[in-house]
Copies of this chain bind each other. A is one copy, B any other.
Amino acid sequence: MRLSRYFLPVLKETPSEAQIASHRLMLRAGMIKQSSAGIYSWLPLGYKVLRRIEQIVHEEQQRAGHIPMLMPTLQSADLWRESGRYDAYGPEMLRIRDRQDRDLLYGPTNEEMITDIFRSHVSSYRDLPLTLYHIQWKFRDEIRPRFGVMRGREFLMKDGYNFDLTREDALHAYNRHLVSYLRSYERMGLQAIPMRAESGPIGGDDTHEFLVLAETGESEVFYDSEITDLKFGGRRIDYDSVEECQAVMEEFTSRYARTDDTHEESAFETQVPEERRRRARGIEVGQIFYFGTKYSEPMGATVVDPEGNRVPVHMGSHGIGVSRLLGAIIEANHDDNGIIWPEGVTPFHVGIVNLKQGDEAADLACDQIYNAVVEAGLEPLYHDGDDRAGAKFATMDLIGLPWRITVGPRGLKNGVVELTSRRTGESEELAPDQAVTKLAQIYAGKL
């Protein structure tokens, strides 16, 4: 993409309403624009990152054998009356009346609706196990929306639901989700720690929240420092193997790690040697639940088991906050000059800066590099404006592309351009084709 043909409205001033870095930087980098309290438009750059995150979530969910679908944003109140949550949910639920005076609501989550779909179509244990998920906009009418997309009212969430014959099968689904979430976050360049948490209005006893450590996090967290050394990494896993998934779950959850809701100071002190005890703040980016028959019983989601008995299915639900992840990633990856995107979610793979727009050799070299990058299957953003070099660098630093190729008449005389890492600031002089080859290797995970 050439910047002259893009829509990237960066702001010079720091917006006064933004209290935290991610909110400030998303506004300054022209990624979002607030349209009402807690409701945002995703400008082109923000939308691109949102789609990259969504794509990682889709890939990892489908790798785990979970099936994508899509439920609508508006739901009938009657479904929620069946589960008893319509009255229980409180003022965060946006209640709506249509022209026929029917009660609707903007879904904050989908346990009831998916249970209704299940009971309409499945009646035998032979159709289990089944895990369905979707990525859809949700609404929670927060009394005090803030921190940009981190605590918005309209937000994008992945929520998945498993249906199993037994508690054991459902716990395998729970472990599968834990593994797929670890993989997803790592691909986004994030370390998200599973911590024992409270279940809140979803219900159930078994639940882990995934938290990204950050000073601006809304939760206080307590953990054994050994946990931050754990990596899922490139290991292969058979998602059908109960043992393999269970082993990962144990590896990542056996050490003390809790949010303030479940923290017990005495257990913390007994289980963790003093030098490994950490108190910090964290941003919640996902949560998994096993809640058994909490919805299947009242809503009659049953199957006939191998003995011919009709039994309620065991369920769980599993969420990733897709839109809030942008905020969390930026909180964990920025400096004074702007955002530093991890390679896995960057909106463009490389920025091309022409130091002397209009110089024949520089323009030609930029065009050739642009085409070679596209040829390599990557997306460049070419700053082809008339701004001076310093302003171009500032824009590139602000929007945070992990790599920059700088092209100028002087370097070209020596046959080189500069490849610069946004994270380290280090530059390397390379022939133009070598710079592109190196980029391709970096994104293929070979460097």
Residues of A participating in the B interface, judged by any CB pair closer than 8 Å: 5-7, 9, 30, 33, 35-37, 39-44, 46-48, 50, 65, 67-76, 79, 91-92, 94, 96, 98-100, 102, 104, 106, 113, 116-117, 120-122, 130, 132, 134, 137, 139, 141, 143, 154
- In the complex this chain forms, how many copies of it are found? 2
Rounded to whole angstroms, the CA-CA distance of A117 and B44 in the bound complex is 12
Interface of A is mostly: mixed
- CB-based contact A50/B70 at 8 Å: yes
Rounded to whole angstroms, the CA-CA distance of A92 and B99 in the bound complex is 8
Closest to A75 in B: B35
Of B6, B9, B102, B154, which one neighbours A73 at CB under 8 angstroms?
B154
Rounded to whole angstroms, the CA-CA distance of A9 and B124 in the bound complex is 12
* Given known A-B contacts A7-B130, A41-B117, A139 and B74 have beta carbons under 8 A apart: yes
Rounded to whole angstroms, the CA-CA distance of A139 and B70 in the bound complex is 16
Q: Chain B nearest CB: distance from A333 CB in Å? A: 22
- CB-based contact A141/B7 at 8 Å: no
Question: Could you list 5 further interchain pairs (A-B, Cβ under 8 angstroms) beyond the known A35-B76, A37-B100, A96-B106?
Answer: A6-B67, A41-B113, A47-B70, A72-B137, A96-B96
- CB-based contact A39/B74 at 8 Å: yes
Of B36, B68, B70, which one neighbours A104 at CB under 8 angstroms?
B36
Q: Chain B nearest CB: distance from A39 CB in Å? A: 5
Rounded to whole angstroms, the CA-CA distance of A102 and B94 in the bound complex is 12
Residues of B within 8 A of A154 (CB): 72-74
- CB-based contact A36/B102 at 8 Å: yes
- Complex A-B: 25 CB contacts under 8 Å: A7-B69, A9-B121, A9-B122, A33-B117, A35-B71, A35-B76, A35-B116, A36-B74, A36-B76, A36-B102, A37-B100, A39-B72, A41-B71, A42-B69, A47-B70, A48-B68, A73-B73, A73-B154, A74-B139, A91-B99, A92-B99, A94-B96, A94-B99, A98-B141, A99-B141
- CB-based contact B70/A117 at 8 Å: no
- CB-based contact B94/A70 at 8 Å: no
- CB-based contact B44/A67 at 8 Å: yes
- CB-based contact A41/B67 at 8 Å: no
Rounded to whole angstroms, the CA-CA distance of A102 and B5 in the bound complex is 37
